[in-house]
Amino acid sequence: MKEISSLMGYREGIRVLDATLRDGGLVNDFYFTDDFARALYKANCDAGIDYMEVGYKASKRLFDVEKFGKWKFSSDDDILSVIGENSEKKVKLAVMADVGRCDYKEDIQERANSPVDLIRVACYVHQMPTAIDMIEDAKKKGYEVSCNIMAISTAQEGDVRVALDMLGQSPVDVIYIVDSFGSLYPEQIARIVSLYKEFADRYGKKLGIHAHNNQQLAFANTIEAVGDGVDWLDATYNGMGRGAGNCSMENLMGLLHNPKYSIYPVLKFIETEIVKLKKDGVVWGYDMQYLITGILNQHPRMAIAFTKDKRNDYAAFYNEMIAQE
């Protein structure tokens, strides 16, 4: 049973990371206006958010720059154009670097020459050797570093244990629990946190959670993780993110009782910017097709295609999904 103080009080170690530009960028190919990005940065500053993930560090050799907005690549110059070179930086900045999709040795500069503070390495369990090389590279350059082990709901526990032990021996600062398919339930999160804490405590690492909302459990799973001692919490404004989206920042602000956080700037940004995106036809959030992929522990790519095709034959879609299993 969790200590009630874990939810009623606050821990100094809690860190909130806004992933709206990065995970949200997956639903509009990262075509955010500079005004949107500036307003988001200001909202994060005003709300007391600790980190803002500005996008990916994707390889321009692998991804066509003509087909994506700038936050797919997150150059230092583009970041500075949003936050201002001479402004006082109130929120730390992060970028995500996917194993196999990032030219990290060339594209990630020395920390002293970059506005970025945190490199978020994302990988699957079988990619751990390259992930650790990326972690070591970023650490040598002076960055804080986290690692997101993706799709753990499909991984064998033995493989996860090996990956966690490898990460524990690396210089990574934070290890993330990632429910990529939105398939996990709170009691499963509790068991996973216990597993991750075994290694985090052994090696002195922090833990984070990044939840998806396929079964409308992203916030519930985040609450579970907080109560179990996870300190780094990802969220997005109005849950904006791939497919069913993520834990909503407004929910998270309502949960955390630390007076440094404020929900008002979050609500104001949703009112002035997110509502406009939705009116312009950008689509994300819980729907039946994402529930189906979450229940079946499947990647939501087919549900995303279902959404783009404006289908609503949910029963037929369910049959299509189970035929693949």
**pLDDT (tens digit per residue) in 194-221:** 999 999 999 999 999 999 999 999 999 9
Residue with tokens 């404006």: 310
The predicted pLDDT at position 163 comes to 98
- Cα distances (Å, whole numbers) of residue 31 to 37, 68, 223: 10, 7, 31
Query: What mean pLDDT value characterizes the chain?
Result: 95
Does the pLDDT value for residue 90 go beyond 90?
Answer: no
* Residue (of 253, 261, 259, 264) closest to 222 by Cα position: 253
**pLDDT (tens digit per residue) in 150-197:** 999 999 999 999 999 999 999 999 999 999 999 999 999 999 999 999
Cα four-point dihedral sign 274, 280, 285, 286? positive
Concatenated DSSP letters for 71-129?
GGT--HHHHHHHH-TTS---SEEEEEEETTS--HHHHS--GGG-S--EEEEEE-GGGHH
Q: Which two tokens stand for residue 107?
A: 């594209």
Does the pLDDT value for residue 83 go beyond 90?
Answer: no
Tell which wins on pLDDT, 26 or 257: 26
**pLDDT (tens digit per residue) in 93-105:** 999 999 999 999 9
Does the pLDDT value for residue 87 go beyond 70?
Answer: no
Do 192 and 152 contact (CB within 8 A), yes or no? yes
The predicted pLDDT at position 2 comes to 61
